[in-house]
Amino acid sequence: MASYIPELTKAHPNWFGICLVTMDGIAYSVGDSEQLFTIQSISKPFVYGAALTDRGRDFVTSRVGVEPSGDAFNTISLNSQTGAPLNPMINAGAIATTSLVAGETPEAQWRRIEASMAAFTGRDITIDEAVYQSESETGFRNRAIAWMLKNFGIIDGEPMASLENYFRQCSILVNCRDLAYMAATLANGGVHPLTGKSALPPEHVERVLSVMATCGMYDYAGSWLYEVGMPAKSGVGGGIIAVVPGSFGIGFFSPPLDGKGNSVRGIQACKELSHDFGMHVFGRTNNPKMALSRIYTASEAPSRRQATIEMRAYMSEHARRIKYLCLHGFLSVDGIEYVIRQMQEMAPDTHSFILDMHQVVGVSESAARLLNKARLGFGEDGIAVVCSRINDRHGVFGPLSKSVQNDDCGFLRFEDNDLAVEWCENRLMCEAPNSSIATRPLADSFLLKGLDETLMQQIEAVAHSHIFSTGEQILSVGHEGDGRVFFIESGRVSIVIPIQNGTHQRIASLGPGMEFGEMALLGQTTRSASVYADTEVRCRILEAADLEKISNQAPLLKIRLLENLARDMATKLKGANQWIAALA
């Protein structure tokens, strides 16, 4: 154990703990993982992160380098020209780093250090006063280093005050669990997996992990990267942290040290974990195909809008030109490159792409930029790229909206696939011949097909007209039916049913020549869905009782109505089955 700090020799040599934390904050611990000890040099990368945040990369690197020294932790390795310590992991670099964090006074700087460490542990910071006193009273070598840094102009203020803050940061009490959460926060791009709060901006996380990888284990750093392959940091208190970026944070604790000041059991356990679970950062592979879980088209899953006969005919041939791509997981550049390549292959036969983001947990900024470029390129070829189901997920929406230039209106995004595909269908229909039939007389209605002129005249006579204004609710789910059947002459309505958690699902959108409320003809008494006017809607309304009266004189009417109704139901059922098959 490190006898140069007398208090540290009081640790029990048998203490041994390991804790591993996943990116969703689950901790797996064994042994003495709750035993507190002092963090020592493991504080260095975290304080370095705080200095980078407070002073910026350029200023910090002008005072402390990023080259591995290959020397022991307490060697005075300074750049021969500038006097700057070679890296922030050796004591000289760490004392200089401590002097760089924000704060007008040493006390304010200490508060900053405490706060930044607390963001990583996820709990308040305390220090071991006895260890602090012990090191402060005996740390002559570090005192000499601090004066040397003052001599070279690396420390601006009072060097002894910065040194005391350095001793204090080394005396912060942690257990193995804390270490694992701190490491996991680095592995997770700087966001604490349990609190969800950012402890360090991602660009600085990269820098911190880089110096940990090259300098974290001092004169053992090369062999460490070669054999274990994880950015890591040890401390003479017996702790080690190791980071598997994007996957795990691990904390080890066992006080007996080797000649280089690294925990003997900690190193051995880390080697075995890395080997047994394939954690070497250069040995990990990723399959970009994971970014794309499935592809299907609007011919399998059309919008829930009820199509006119013309539209149906056109769509049966062209709907496959609307492609859904279900994206998945965290989208990085490699995954997006694969998605774009698939889109390019499909492009000759595509009118619109719908990127379904429902299963996407995040998008990197570089991936978002690449996707945006591709979107603009497809746009030039007349192919639309729209997104659906992003909802409120900031990790998805944030990078996508940031990737868009100011003069571009950006990704078109829809709350659900139904709205997205309806938009794409409308776009496709613009290319269809006579796509814009805006009004349909009552006689054209599907339900009244096959009736002779006399019957039609009788029906016309009892059908009254009504205009609903945009947004008006025409029918309410669960309400008592009054026997009215509605025939749309112009405008559009949405049929909506309530689903769990107070939200609604549109099940159909209807236009001219279509009818709703027709269940009244079968004697249904309560309305099974709500109906809203999406535009101004002109309807002809028939009372079931009036139709009944006419049927009494002319039974053929009833037969025709029921036949048409059955045919309509069969078509709807076929559509619904196709939908279920497409989504299965």
Number of CB atoms found within 10 A of residue 520's CB: 21
Which of 74/571 has CB closer to ligand DON? 74
Part in contact with ligand DON (CB under 6 A); list of ranges 8-16, 58-66, 232-240, 323-331: 232-240
Please name the residues in contact with 297: beta carbons below 8 A apart, sequence gap of 6 or more: 319, 320, 321, 322, 323, 324
Number of CB atoms found within 10 A of residue 72's CB: 15
In the chain, the amino acid numbered 225 is L
Residues 188-227, one symbol each (x = binds ligand DON by CB under 6 A, - = not), give ----------------------------------------
Shortest gap between Cβ of 234 and ligand DON (angstroms)? 4
- Cα dist. 266→33, 140, 305, 343, 353 in Å? 12, 28, 63, 48, 51
CA–CA distance, 480 with 487 (Å, rounded to integer):
19
Part in contact with ligand DON (CB under 6 A); list of ranges 183-191, 233-241, 284-292, 545-553: 233-241
142 lies in the binding site for ligand DON (CB under 6 A): yes
Q: What is the helix (H) or strand (E) element at residue 353, kind and residue range?
A: strand 352-363
234 lies in the binding site for ligand DON (CB under 6 A): yes
Part in contact with ligand DON (CB under 6 A); list of ranges 157-165, 230-238, 403-411, 560-568: 230-238
Which residue shows structure tokens 């804390």? 178
Which of 73/516 has CB closer to ligand DON? 73
- Tokens found for residue 74: 């307490």
DSSP, collapsed to helix, strand or coil, labels residue 34 as: coil
Part in contact with ligand DON (CB under 6 A); list of ranges 148-156, 231-239, 361-369, 441-449: 231-239
Shortest gap between Cβ of 142 and ligand DON (angstroms)? 5
136 lies in the binding site for ligand DON (CB under 6 A): no
- Please list the active-site residues: 41, 44, 166, 218, 236
Minimal CA–CA distance to 494: which of 504, 503, 481, 483? 504
Which of 92/326 has CB closer to ligand DON? 92
- Cα dist. 328→268, 332, 335, 392, 450 in Å? 37, 11, 9, 17, 50
79-101 exposure pattern, b = at least 16 Cβ within 10 A, e = fewer: eeeebbbbbbbbbbbbbbbbbbb
Which of 88/235 has CB closer to ligand DON? 235
236 lies in the binding site for ligand DON (CB under 6 A): yes
290-299 exposure pattern, b = at least 16 Cβ within 10 A, e = fewer: ebbeeebbbb
Shortest gap between Cβ of 381 and ligand DON (angstroms)? 58
Shortest gap between Cβ of 125 and ligand DON (angstroms)? 16
- Tokens found for residue 446: 């599907």
**For strand 384-388 and strand 352-363, is the pairing parallel, antiparallel, or unpaired?**
parallel
- Residue 413: beta bridge partners? 387
Which of 75/332 has CB closer to ligand DON? 75
**Using CA of residue 216, residue 217, residue 222, residue 228, what is the dihedral sign?**
negative
DSSP, collapsed to helix, strand or coil, labels residue 124 as: coil
Shortest gap between Cβ of 103 and ligand DON (angstroms)? 21
CA–CA distance, 97 with 41 (Å, rounded to integer):
12
Q: What is the helix (H) or strand (E) element at residue 137, kind and residue range?
A: helix 129-138
Q: Which of 85, 159, 231, 235 binds ligand DON (CB under 6 A)?
A: 235
Which of 51/291 has CB closer to ligand DON? 51
Residues 63-102, one symbol each (x = binds ligand DON by CB under 6 A, - = not), give ----------xx----------------x-----------
Q: Which of 7, 32, 128, 135 binds ligand DON (CB under 6 A)?
A: 135
Q: Which of 33, 35, 40, 162 binds ligand DON (CB under 6 A)?
A: 40
Which of 41/458 has CB closer to ligand DON? 41
Part in contact with ligand DON (CB under 6 A); list of ranges 114-122, 229-237, 264-272, 475-483: 229-237
Shortest gap between Cβ of 90 and ligand DON (angstroms)? 9
**For strand 239-244 and strand 530-533, is the pairing parallel, antiparallel, or unpaired?**
unpaired
Angle between helices 106-121 and 176-187 (to 10 degrees): 90
Which of 53/262 has CB closer to ligand DON? 262
Output DSSP code: residue 42: G
Q: Which residue is nearest to ligand DON (CB)?
A: 41
Show the CA angle centred on residue 380, arms to residues 377 and 383, nearest 5°.
85
Q: What is the helix (H) or strand (E) element at residue 358, kind and residue range?
A: strand 352-363
Do residues 34 and 250 lie in contact, with contact meaning Cβ atoms separated by under 8 Å?
A: no
Which of 73/324 has CB closer to ligand DON? 73
Size of the site for ligand DON (CB under 6 A): 13
388 lies in the binding site for ligand DON (CB under 6 A): no
Shortest gap between Cβ of 248 and ligand DON (angstroms)? 22
Interface positions with ligand DON (CB under 6 A): 40-41, 73-74, 91, 135, 142, 170, 234-236, 261-262
